[in-house]
């Protein structure tokens, strides 16, 4: 089966990871009597005296924030990775209890001094410094000889494990390439070797020709629900110009990226009339000094809400033990998101 128009169970292949996704469209009608999440529509002020990310406040680690006016970056006070060299553990003769040291640097990016904002509620002029910061950090962190991979990401919303609603993201820069990124690198190179073209350039052209899973686009970027999506309203932002990383992004592309991120954020918030939670991450080429001609950088948005602002998709049972499964097809999800306003809110959040 090559298309997406079916109501019977089927599998879809994810060419970026090499994994398969089980799709069961007939299950969307099943009743729900499981866990419901608390709503997250509380009004919050623009500044909180006890927020450890607001300007001039003391952070959880004791350091004081400056009176910043745009973005503010600092090394995570409770970093998962540390830059200091670590002693190599003794090898396990059986090859079963294997470990190795991992060095790295973890950074926090405060997007704005205002506690009550999100990217969806910022202007292009407010989002542009975030993109500039991503580029600067990618270059400066990648210049360290022990940093070979940089993961830029954002967790938004309490149900995504975000410990503070102040608008912020993170960067984990490590000495090795993580599992998922390594799989994407391998799959993109394999596609280039076999077909002589970029995987995502070819895929994007295919999606633009049909429009079935496209949400919207501008001169530089396209937002779509990938054919192989497994989160209910998963999307990708893909540059129309082939580029391995943010390092080569132009000034116009920065403006277009800011605009399309804001549009997607408003679209998400309008879906269930809530401050929409998600995990967002940028996948781009490693910083190990090697050439990666097959890599086409892109953004993944992975939101957990299933049917409403209180019903979350849980990864349990078959999905934890066998393979990822989804009920809502990519085509239905794209149609629902595409029909939502992306320039104004349906009602005040």
Place of tokens 């405060």: 110
- Tally of CB atoms within 10 A around 291: 8
SS (H, E, C) 218-247: CCCEEEECCCCCCCCCCEEEEECCCCCCHH
Q: What is the DSSP secondary structure assignment for residue 29, as one 8-state letter?
A: G
β partners of residue 192 = none
- Tally of CB atoms within 10 A around 82: 14
Q: Both tokens of residue 63?
A: 């350091």
- 242 given a catalytic annotation: no
Place of tokens 């401050």: 275
Measured torsion, CA atoms of residues 290, 150, 277, 242, in degrees rounded to the nearest 10 = -30
Q: Both tokens of residue 200?
A: 């995502």
Nearest to 316 by CA among 331, 308, 330, 306: 306
Out of 115, 168, 283, 300, pick the active-site residue: 168
| Helices 199-210 and 179-195: angle between axes, nearest 10 degrees | 80
* Pairing label, strands 19-23, 325-326: parallel
Which residues are part of the catalytic machinery?
168
């Amino acid at each position: 089966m090559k298309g997406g128009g079916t109501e019977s169970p089927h599998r879809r292949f994810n060419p970026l990871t090499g994994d398969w996704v089980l799709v069961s469209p007939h299950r969307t009608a099943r009743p729900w009597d499981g866990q419901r999440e608390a709503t997250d529509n509380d009004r919050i002020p623009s500044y909180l005296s006890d927020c450890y990310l607001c300007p001039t406040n003391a952070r959880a680690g004791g350091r004081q924030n400056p009176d910043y006016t745009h973005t503010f970056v600092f090394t995570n006070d409770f970093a998962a990775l540390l830059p200091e060299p670590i002693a190599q553990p003794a090898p396990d003769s059986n090859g079963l209890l294997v470990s190795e040291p991992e060095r790295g640097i973890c950074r926090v990016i405060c997007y704005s001094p205002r506690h009550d904002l999100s990217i969806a509620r910022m202007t292009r002029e407010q989002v542009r410094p975030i993109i500039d910061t991503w580029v600067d950090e990618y270059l400066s962190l990648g210049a360290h000889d022990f940093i070979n991979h940089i993961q830029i990401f954002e967790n938004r919303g309490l149900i995504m494990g975000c410990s503070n609603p102040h608008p912020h993201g993170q960067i984990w820069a490590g000495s090795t390439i993580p599992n998922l990124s390594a799989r994407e690198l391998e799959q993109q190179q394999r596609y280039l070797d076999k077909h002589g073209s970029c995987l995502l350039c070819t895929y994007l052209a295919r999606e633009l020709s049909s429009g079935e899973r496209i949400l919207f686009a501008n001169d530089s970027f396209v937002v779509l629900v990938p054919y192989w999506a497994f989160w209910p309203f998963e999307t990708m932002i893909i540059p129309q110009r082939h580029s391995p990383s943010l390092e080569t992004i132009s000034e116009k592309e920065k403006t277009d990226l800011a605009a399309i991120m804001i549009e997607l954020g408003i679209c998400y918030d309008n879906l269930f009339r809530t401050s929409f939670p998600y995990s967002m991450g940028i996948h781009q080429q490693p910083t190990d000094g090697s050439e990666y001609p097959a890599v086409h950088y892109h953004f993944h948005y992975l939101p957990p809400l299933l049917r409403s602002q209180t019903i979350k998709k849980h990864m349990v049972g078959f999905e934890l033990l066998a393979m990822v499964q989804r009920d809502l097809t990519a085509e239905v999800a794209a149609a629902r998101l595409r029909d939502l306003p992306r320039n104004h809110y349906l009602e005040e959040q």
